[in-house]
Chains A and B, each alone.
Chain A
């Protein structure tokens, strides 16, 4: 089927079978490799992107469901030369180990903060529980999110959100 969608602000059109997961469209058709394949079943969160402002598991989202939609991936989180505040926090806190799950972690955290700029610890844990990390970076993730949430409440801007 012919599909059009907006990815990181750009109009993209392609011809693809309607059941192809959004993940493989992003990775292999549009060359956006920052979104990762982990389980193919929506269980690990490595493939998390924002579709119309909501976090979705792109491995389990057929492209037909994304048709006409607005998609933001890890590559689109930054604004121009400036990284998203969460990305800066991830670097500052040295969150990644192998790093494979971190795009998905950051996308889940970005959605949380876009909707709840001052989340409690419980809010953060709840929002991040769908994202698995095999290396065990969970405590650094919490610290990084809290550092941005703290800065947020004191008025720092945090870049674009889909």
Chain B
């Protein structure tokens, strides 16, 4: 990243003599909020604030949902500021243009981008503050700034004995002007980056004191629950409002856009009232699909339309003609729910023409749009307070739960907390899309000469742009919202990023093949979808790496040797492949009744190779061991990298073994953890994570562990019993 420091750092004196460092990220220069010295309040665009009481506050613009930003991003600031990360208090960012994710032009946390996009700017902010503190101290002591050094929250005099705490210096430091570029510390001087250190939120999360959205407590607060149409698109015709309103504790029962809301003084009373609620639904415009219909429609679309070309090299047709063998296979993957352990919830309070919202959200600026939509308020009238998130995985990028809380609070005039039940959370999720893949390849001898991948299914931006486009233009009048959404879709690649959600992980096909034809047949059956931990990579990874295994088998070659030969031009792929093969002792004999499978896959800039050792016990698939080599560039916190990769592996295995949302006549059939199971402690395989030592720019780790484990497990089962797993979830008795 090349940027002039002056372009994105602003330093100012804050209230009561604190030092504040603000940043304007590239691309946001036109809309920064300037420094207003007379307000005297904490400025929402300050990334870093040092107070005279020797406190350090760091505004965390990427939310904490378990992926470790709370520790990881704070570590980046701490390293250059020369202070222990534990001395810094992170606070969750309010909505402001400065906190947008520069890759998306939205204030969202997703796509495994937090460390990658913060790596340069956060260290620069820390370095600038440190330099100003050193300059202030030098002025006090009347020595050269270059002779002083910062260490552990203090500036040390050239005599090596005297020192001043940062708190003593902030008032003076705010007046210093740093000229020229500040060199960031060389890797050899790092104290915190790349070192084994604890997590800054571990104490709060081990003592029950971390505040999640569901824990928000306001005086005079009431509770709301919402009954939504069991089939998408159903409308409320009538409901027994009077009867329900008469129940104990019930304050109001009314229709909102998404269904019927019950508000009561206690949560349990709201639930009991909801049980008594009888709604007459009009399903005339409702979805009536069953899962089989979805896949039938995909197959029909695939037959009709070869799809838009997303990558084309050489001539696939000639490759087929000249080959001596053609291999074809079709892969299918189901809808998947997110199943965050904290169900969807949000709290909203409308008073004096303003609304305040507290919510576990991955995209607070979109939350503001959602609340504006549900009320007559403008985004500027709405404040979003982000809490800890009890899991995100992409689910909390969509703000439907904030929309509901806002609608209820706007009517009730008291703080309202809306909590979804687990059943509602499962049935009214927006799912990882069900997808179909048609694969075709040509072999000449053992040589892979042609690769064709036809991806069939919907695109997520079609669903997401509704709130995302207005969030990019928060000053736009509300009547424009729908137009903005449509323009966003039409101007895809210009106004909004090109939607690669369906094809990511397919178009980057890395193996050396001369003739490549990758296509997307765009078809949308109308079932709500959204991002899901690794999204497109999760389904394309399964198709690509299973088919590679099929081809290795067809070519009569060991799956490792086959891949190795075709990836020798990609050094980082090659390295993780070689390392995982050693780690798993790939060539060694497998215990009786077990087999190994391999997959190699890059996503979010991170290279991952995995070997799964699995078997079938008592008619069920059993995973014994997963070996994983990962190259994510420079590691900020090794423990968090291990955790994220291992967590991704278990997330992927859960999908591979159990994950399936099915529809019957438009209704989701799963509801809770008995029919949408998650992997449990007793099923956990041994997971070994091997991290490549690298000083490349860091890349994401939250998602890349997920995609390869699914095909690696399927490939292991093929090695075990010769039966190819072409649809998910995997089955012991294909």
Contacts and interface: CB of A to CB of B under 8 A. Distances in A.
Interface of A: 17, 19-21, 24, 27-28, 31-41, 43-44, 46, 73-75, 78, 83, 87, 90-92, 94-103, 106, 125-126, 128-142
A16 to B, nearest CB: 8
14 contacts: A21-B268, A28-B267, A38-B341, A87-B207, A90-B206, A91-B206, A97-B647, A98-B65, A99-B210, A132-B673, A136-B646, A136-B648, A136-B650, A138-B650
Nearest to B198: A94
Given A36-B342, A74-B207, 5 more contacts: A34-B207, A41-B673, A97-B67, A97-B643, A138-B681
Given A98-B388, A132-B678, A34 B209 contact: yes
Contacts of B269: 17
A134 B340 contact: yes
Given A98-B341, A136-B651, A35 B208 contact: yes
A39 B422 contact: yes
Contacts of B565: none
B684 interface: yes
B643 A132 contact: no
A35 B423 CA distance: 20
B64 to A, nearest CB: 8
Nearest to B214: A37
Nearest to A128: B681
B203 interface: yes
Contacts of A100: 212, 340-342, 390-391
B140 to A, nearest CB: 39
Contact of B681 (A21, A40, A103, A125): A125
Nearest to B674: A43
Which of B388, B390, B649 lies at the interface centre, i.e. has the most chain A CB atoms within 10 A of its CB? B390
B479 interface: no
B341 A44 contact: yes
A15 B535 CA distance: 48
A24 B266 CA distance: 9
B214 A87 contact: no
B499 interface: no
B202 A94 contact: yes
Interface string B215-242: 1010000000000000000000000000
A96 B389 CA distance: 12
B682 interface: yes
B421 interface: yes
Nearest to A140: B643
Interface residues of B, number: 61
Nearest to B211: A33
A14 to B, nearest CB: 11
A91 B209 CA distance: 13
Contacts of A135: 66, 391, 643, 647
A39 B672 contact: yes
A137 B647 contact: yes
Contacts of A139: 646, 684, 687
B206 A98 contact: no
Interface string B579-610: 00000000000000000000000000000000
B5 interface: no
B208 A33 contact: yes
Nearest to B678: A132
Contacts of B68: 97
Nearest to B645: A136
Given A46-B341, A137-B647, A97 B66 contact: yes
A43 B672 CA distance: 8
B203 A91 contact: yes
Which of B202, B210, B651 lies at the interface centre, i.e. has the most chain A CB atoms within 10 A of its CB? B202
Contacts of A83: 206-207
B71 to A, nearest CB: 9
Given A24-B268, A97-B643, A33 B217 contact: yes
Contacts of A92: 198
B565 to A, nearest CB: 33
Contacts of B78: none
Which of A20, A43, A132 lies at the interface centre, i.e. has the most chain B CB atoms within 10 A of its CB? A132
A28 B210 contact: no
Nearest to B392: A98
Contacts of A19: 268
B199 interface: yes
Contacts of A137: 643, 647
Contacts of B650: 136, 138
Interface in B390-419: 390-393, 419
Across chains A and B, which 9 residue pairs bring their CB atoms closest together, nearest first? A34-B208, A99-B205, A98-B66, A100-B390, A136-B650, A136-B647, A97-B66, A74-B208, A96-B205
Contacts of A99: 66, 201, 204-206, 210, 388, 390
A157 to B, nearest CB: 18
B339 interface: yes
B389 A98 contact: yes
Contacts of A28: 266-267
Nearest to A41: B672
A75 B210 CA distance: 12
A69 to B, nearest CB: 19
Interface string B56-84: 00000000011110000000000000000
A96 B643 CA distance: 9
B639 to A, nearest CB: 5
Contact of A96 (B202, B393, B644, B687): B202
B504 to A, nearest CB: 23
B391 to A, nearest CB: 5
Nearest to A108: B681
Contacts of B388: 98-99
Nearest to A102: B205
A31 B673 CA distance: 27
Nearest to A141: B681
A133 B207 CA distance: 17
Contacts of A33: 208, 211, 214-215, 217
A28 B215 CA distance: 9
A62 to B, nearest CB: 10
B343 interface: yes
A102 B647 CA distance: 15
Contacts of A87: 206-207
A140 B549 CA distance: 33
A44 B68 CA distance: 23
Interface string B661-698: 00000000000111000111110100100000000000
Nearest to B210: A99
Nearest to A90: B206
A141 to B, nearest CB: 7
A143 to B, nearest CB: 12
A73 B207 CA distance: 10
A38 B646 CA distance: 22
B395 to A, nearest CB: 11
Given A87-B206, A100-B390, A132-B678, A44 B673 contact: yes
Contacts of B643: 94, 97, 135-137, 140
A102 B421 CA distance: 20
Which of B208, B422, B673 lies at the interface centre, i.e. has the most chain A CB atoms within 10 A of its CB? B208
Nearest to A107: B208
Given A98-B341, A139-B646, A129 B217 contact: no
Contacts of B212: 36, 100
Nearest to A74: B208
Contacts of B678: 132, 134
A95 B421 CA distance: 27
Contacts of A94: 198-199, 202, 639-640, 643
A135 B684 CA distance: 13
Contacts of B215: 27, 33
Contacts of B651: 134, 136
Contacts of B342: 36, 38, 98, 100
Interface string B259-275: 00000001111000000
A106 B211 contact: no
Contacts of B672: 39-41, 43
